[in-house]
Amino acid sequence: MVSALNARLTHHGATDVLRTAFDAVPDLALVSSFGAESVVLLHLAAMVNRDVPVIFIDTEMLFAETLVYQQEVAERLRLRNVRIIRADDSEARDPSRSMHKHNVDACCAMRKVAPLRRALADHSGWITGRKRYQSGTRANLEFFEVETGKIKVNPLARWAQQDIRDYMDENRLPRHPLVAQGYPSIGCAPCTSKVEAGEDPRSGRWRDQDKDECGIHFVNGKLVRAGT
């Protein structure tokens, strides 16, 4: 089914991909970090299906600005089914909140991967905001993928960074406040740093570490890491 959908939608845009996804895949959810570019996908989804379950993983180490922005965007777009997910008692193993300092992969697994898997257990697939330009591991990203038995939908896969900016301008969408402060890619506060002019937009994520994905995305069943 995935190959057929990709072939059918080769020359179509994000809105058509979303409409097709909702028709073809039952129980779709949308996973959003409410980060620097998230509002574009959320706006597109709201125009197609305002009742789509929107899963927001609160790692409890996010910037305060992200938490405020999440509420503002959800209200602005009138999203009716936002689900805020956190690690439960069986998953949380970091009482000192210092795991990221000595094992960043374990921290991501506990705060993001395990809660997301639990949240997606009852869904046949999920929608992401990933794009080809974001990193080398995403260079061949398709609209539809299969990952660990679920359909993953990437409506913005072929958008360029300028497309994102133009869409936000044309639709007067609110920006994440940290973008203007030098954070073009935003995750947890301890693992996100400012990006200097000329640097890759994602260079501020897990800076100086052999890592460029949080672990919620896989390729061929394996967690995506820098250099793979």
Amino acid identity, residue 150?
Answer: K
Name the fold adopted by 2-223. Rossmann fold (3.40.50)
Name the token pair of 146: 């299969």
Distance CA 164, CA 88 (A): 34
Confidence at residue 219, expressed as pLDDT on a 0 to 100 scale: 45
Q: Which residues, in sequence order, are CB contacts of 199 under 8 Å at separation 6+?
A: none
The residues facing 125 across adjacent strands are: 28, 151
Q: Which residues, in sequence order, are CB contacts of 133 under 8 Å at separation 6+?
A: 159, 160, 161
Q: Does 107 qualify as catalytic in the annotation? A: no
Other C-beta atoms within 10 Å of 64: how many? 9
Distance CA 86, CA 78 (A): 22
Closest among 64, 63, 121 to 88, alpha carbons compared: 121
Confidence at residue 26, expressed as pLDDT on a 0 to 100 scale: 84
Confidence at residue 222, expressed as pLDDT on a 0 to 100 scale: 43
Q: Where are the domains of the chain?
A: 2-223
- Which candidate in 107, 108, 191, 214 is catalytic? 214
DSSP 3-state of 91: coil
Q: What is the DSSP letter of 111?
A: I
Confidence at residue 94, expressed as pLDDT on a 0 to 100 scale: 81
DSSP 3-state of 139: coil
User: pLDDT tens track of the chain, all 228 residues?
Assistant: 899 998 999 999 999 999 999 999 989 999 999 999 999 999 999 999 999 999 999 999 999 999 999 999 999 999 999 999 999 887 878 888 888 888 888 898 999 999 999 999 999 999 999 988 776 567 788 999 998 889 999 999 999 989 999 999 999 999 999 999 999 889 999 999 998 887 777 777 776 665 555 444 444 444 443 322
Q: What angle do CA 139, 141, 146 make, to 5 degrees?
A: 145
